[in-house]
Each structure stands twice: as C-alpha cells, then as structure tokens.
C-alpha cells in the first residue's frame, strides 16, 4: 500500500470513528449549545492524524483562514501533555505514577473561535468533541460529566491514538502551526522531533474501562476494533 493510500484510509477511518462517537454520545443529555464555548480553550490536544484529517477535508481558503487566526493569536502559553492517553494506560499497567501536568483554562481561548462559534466545527478533533456537560458550566464553574460518559470518551481517545500509533500527539494548536511544514514520519504526519512538546502515539496496551462498565461497553469496543482492525 502506498503512503497516499495508507493516509487516505486512516483519514476515512478517523471520520468513521467521529461518526460513531456522535451516535454513542447522543444517548447522554447535554446542556451544550451554540456559542457555549467555555471549554474552548487553547489547551485542547490532538493527534497528527487529526491534523491531516483537517487538511484533507478543508479547502485552501479555509486553511488560509486558519493560518491567519493562528498568526493573529501569537505565541501563548498552552497545555503541552507529557504523555498520551495510552501512555497513561501503560503507566497504570506498570504501576507507575502518572506525570503531573499543568493545565490552566485561564491561559486563553482557542483562536479558531469567532463570536463564540468554532470556525472548523465539522472537522474539530476528538479533544474538542469530548467536551460535554449535563448542566451549563457557568453555573458551577466546571463541567458535569456522567461517569459512564467519561469511560466511553476515554475508550474513544485510546482508539483514535491507536489508529495513529507512531505519529505525534500534542497541543492541537501547536500541531496546526506545524502542519504546513514538509516534516513527515512514516505515517505521513508531522515528525515527533520537530514539534516542541509533542509526544508519540502508542498502541492500546489495555483499555481503561472500570469493571462495572465492561459489559455495557463490550459492543462499542467491538465496533471500534472492527473499524481499525484490531
């Protein structure tokens, strides 16, 4: 399989995972609405494949608009993860403590917002899609997420990372800023060593599903496994 074919297949699979995610999460009541953008900070994470997906699905004019918005924002402090979701699962398996990471919403909003509306909403990464709350966040200052929803979200994050194993994981805006550079790894994604603060995506070492949720997520895991053929 050629590099182009491999990348196209991965991008199409990612889109199928997004569609499945929307279907599954529709079972949970949410208070989120248009222009409710409290969770849209500069701290969202993404995989390199998700950046490739954005570039594949948007036209040149839309990509130029993204570059303008990123340049206008300038250099800001952002959350840069030390480890991936599957890296956390591996640490738990090995009895290691998770790395402590600083993440502060006050560092700023996402520069891709305009009047509280996401300018790339249809192609936003999973890190944006998973943001949900059963009550308006402004009432309590934080999101209210049901425990089963958190389990499902974690499972999706693990599979999206697995799909891009060997690729990069980092701050969404950091990856976007480097997306136009001709620095690619074997998966056709931005090279890990060329992006500040980027980590490497891992395959799933074990799914982080609490015992009480195993039976309820069995069909979901099978569906995701079939999509990425694991």
What tens-digit pLDDT sequence spans the chain (230 residues)?
666 678 889 999 999 999 999 999 999 888 777 777 788 899 999 999 999 999 999 999 999 999 999 998 876 789 999 899 999 999 999 998 877 788 888 888 999 999 889 999 999 999 999 998 777 777 777 777 889 999 999 999 999 999 999 999 999 999 998 876 543 343 444 444 467 778 999 999 999 999 999 999 999 999 999 999 86
SS3 156: helix
Provide the domain count of the chain.
Answer: 1
Assessment of whether the complete model's pTM goes beyond 0.85 = yes
Alpha helical stretches, state H, 85-146: 85-93, 126-129, 137-140
All residues at 6 or more sequence positions from 41 whose CB lies less than 8 Å from its CB, including other chains: 105, 107, 108, 109, 110
Longest dimension (CA), the chain: 52
**Domain of 81, in residue numbers:** 3-228
Cα gap 119→114, rounded to integer Å? 7
For residue 76, CA distances in Å to 9, 121, 174, 189 come to: 34, 22, 10, 24
């Amino acid at each position: 399989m050629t590099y182009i074919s491999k990348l196209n297949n991965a991008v199409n699979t990612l889109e199928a995972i997004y569609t499945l995610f929307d279907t599954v999460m529709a079972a949970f009541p949410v208070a989120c609405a248009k222009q409710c953008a409290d969770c849209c900070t500069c701290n969202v994470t993404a995989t390199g494949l998700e950046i490739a997906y954005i570039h594949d699905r948007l036209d040149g004019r839309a990509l130029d608009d993204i570059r303008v918005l990123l340049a206008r924002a300038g250099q800001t402090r952002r959350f840069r993860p030390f480890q991936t979701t599957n890296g956390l699962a591996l640490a738990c398996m090995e009895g290691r403590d998770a790395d402590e990471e600083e993440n502060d919403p006050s560092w700023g909003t996402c520069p891709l917002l305009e009047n509280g509306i996401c300018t790339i909403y249809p192609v936003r990464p999973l890190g944006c899609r998973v943001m949900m709350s059963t009550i308006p966040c402004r009432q309590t200052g934080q999101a209210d997420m049901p425990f089963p929803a958190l389990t499902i979200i974690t499972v999706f994050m693990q599979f999206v990372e697995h799909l891009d194993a060997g690729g990069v994981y980092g701050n969404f805006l950091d990856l976007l800023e480097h997306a136009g550079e001709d620095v690619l790894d074997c998966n056709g994604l931005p090279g890990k060593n060329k992006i500040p603060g980027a980590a490497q995506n891992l395959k799933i070492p074990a799914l982080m599903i609490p015992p009480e949720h195993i039976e309820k997520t069995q069909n979901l895991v099978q569906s995701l496994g079939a999509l990425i053929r694991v």
